[in-house]
Amino acid sequence: MKTKTKISKAKLVMSITIGIACFALMLVMFMQFKVVKQTDITSIETMRESDLRTELSDWKAKYTELTELYDDVTSRIAEYQSESETDEETAQLLQSELAELNEALGLTDVEGEGITITIQDNGGQELPDDMGYVSNISETDLLVIINELFDAGAEAISINDNRIVAMSDIFRIGGAYLQVNSEPIRSPYVIKAIGDPTYLESAAYNKDGRLTALQEAGHSIQIESSKNRKIQIQKYNGTISTKYMN
Amino acid sequence: MTDKKMISLILGCMCILLSAGIAIQVRTIGGIGTSTGSNSTENQLRDAILKTKENYDNLYEALEKAEVKLETERTNATQNNSELTDLENNIKEANKQLGLTEVTGEGVIVTLNDSTVPLTGSTILSDPNDYLIHYEDIISIINELKNAGAEAISINGQRIVANSVIKCDGTVIKVNGQKIGTPFVISAIGMQETLAQVNRYYGYLWKMKNEWNLDVSFERTKNPITIPKYTGTIKFNYAQSQ
């Protein structure tokens, strides 16, 4: 009886020591894992110099943008805080904020420098040398072109005067008809984009871009840059639903 | 005897676990070591990127605080006046519509993954690119969700706003300028019954699954979905309201 308790005591001490040692080791390991995860080293560690340079300039641009936004918000706070304010002045402040938000939502007619692209769908026409027929412009083509224009810094885009907003969709509704924002459209597709005309133009003429591909596939494309000349883009006429979002 | 066996077994297991952990760590750190190299320009660039990122994160934190403060200031300025409160509510609603707030609601989750079909036998000669998810697939699925009545969409935590760009940058896909990888998890808030249209027979998702053998899934979640806010900036420099 006595010896048995002695042994179990020794065992207990031993297992506790081992337990503590294991626990400490595990702790260190998890700490390490966490550090490795946090530093996010894998993504930039494996990059080459040129990638690193673009990454750096991307982050710098984002930082500059954020600085502007921050200054904007702080100056607004100061405006609301100013003591002498009457209700009228507050209303003006609120109105100007709302006007800016509505502009960003695409709920106002806008104008500015930009580009106008006209695409004539030559679908069904015979290709030379018995190469078959030209296939119709698809919704994906238009989606990709819009994506390319936004990538080139477009601020507002419309297709056949239908404004592209966050939840805009493009669908084929049969035959040569597509629809944008549930409005039927057909060729020629007139895409207007407001933004830096130089960037927009270089995106439109990009040899790897979708417009070049469509031209090579047999469609007629006309690109008109409006440098120093304003183009108008209409507002979105639908409603933006938030029924299911809380 | 059995006690001893038990102890040695447990100890053995522990040792194996620990060794495995250490081995993984050594490999990870080893991997980092080799790619770091001795190129000082690259290291300087890395430092600069990390520093800019840190500055960005700090400023973003400050901005979030400032936005909260702006909201309280606005509420203070508009209380006791119903007209002003209405305007304030309009501003809140517009921010929500723009994607500048985190939102929760019923919806669906679409997951897109590269094909799991092994390149053997009849498929060995096919182009491996046919078995991957392309940025066009993502654009098309998002377009389908919008058509089916989505009110808010995010992909791998990146909120889709009007000017969001989904593009292919070499071997990675970028959304809102951020790199994302497989699996692509697209969450959409809206009425589940209409959103289920995305999963229709012969729709784009159906084709991805049945014709192109991609690993895709569609889920009507029981619990509400949360979609994060857009963390970029929306600013017009060229477009002016008339």
Binary contact (A52, B45; C-beta < 8 A)? yes
The more confident residue out of A169 and B40 is A169
DSSP A128: S
Structure tokens at A241: 């639903």
Structure tokens at A80: 């609301």
* B168 Cβ under 8 Å from any chain A Cβ: no
The average pLDDT across A6-35 equals: 80
- How many other C-beta atoms can be found within 10 angstroms of the C-beta atom of residue B37? 10
Q: State the pLDDT at residue A6.
A: 59
How confident is the model over A87-146, as pLDDT tens digits?
888 888 899 899 999 999 999 999 999 999 999 999 888 887 777 888 899 999 999 999
In the block, residue with structure tokens 């296939």 = A135
Residue A51, strand partner residues:
none
How confident is the model over B55-96, as pLDDT tens digits?
999 999 999 999 999 988 888 888 878 888 889 999 999 999
Binary contact (B74, A102; C-beta < 8 A)? no
Phi, psi of A40 (to 5 degrees): 50, 40
Write the residue in B42, B140, B238 that is nearest to A49 by C-beta: B42
* Residues of chain B contacting A102 with CB distance shorter than 8 Å: 94
Say whether pLDDT at A56 is over 70.
yes
Say whether pLDDT at B36 is over 60.
no
d(CA A195, CA A203): 12
Interface of B with A in 57-116 (CB under 8 A): 59-60, 62-63, 66-67, 69-70, 73-74, 76-78, 81, 83-84, 87-88, 90-91, 93-99, 103-107
Task: Give chain A's radius of gyration (CA, Å).
Answer: 30
How confident is the model over A155-172, as pLDDT tens digits?
999 999 999 999 999 999
The secondary element (H helix, E strand) that includes residue A224 is strand A220-233
* Residues of chain A contacting B21 with CB distance shorter than 8 Å: 29
The more confident residue out of B34 and B207 is B207
Suggest the residue from B49, B176, B229, B235 to mutate for an interface test with chain A (most A CBs closer than 10 A): B49
Binary contact (A195, B96; C-beta < 8 A)? no
d(CA A95, CA B88): 9
Binary contact (B88, A103; C-beta < 8 A)? no
* B22 Cβ under 8 Å from any chain A Cβ: yes
A186 neighbors A177 (Cβ within 8 angstroms): yes
Q: State the pLDDT at residue B125.
A: 63
Q: How many Cα neighbours within 13 Å face the side chain of A93?
A: 25
Instruction: Please report, as a single letter, which amino acid is at residue A238.
Output: G
B140 neighbors B238 (Cβ within 8 angstroms): no
Q: State the pLDDT at residue A42.
A: 47
Report how far apart the first and last C-alpha atoms of chain B are (Å, whole number): 90
Q: Residue A242: closest CA among chain B residues belongs to which residue?
A: B151
Say whether pLDDT at A44 is over 90.
no
* Residues of chain A contacting B234 with CB distance shorter than 8 Å: 104
The average pLDDT across A27-47 equals: 65
Mind telling me how many Å the CA of A184 is from chain B's nearest CA?
Answer: 14
The more confident residue out of A111 and A227 is A111
d(CA B166, CA B178): 9
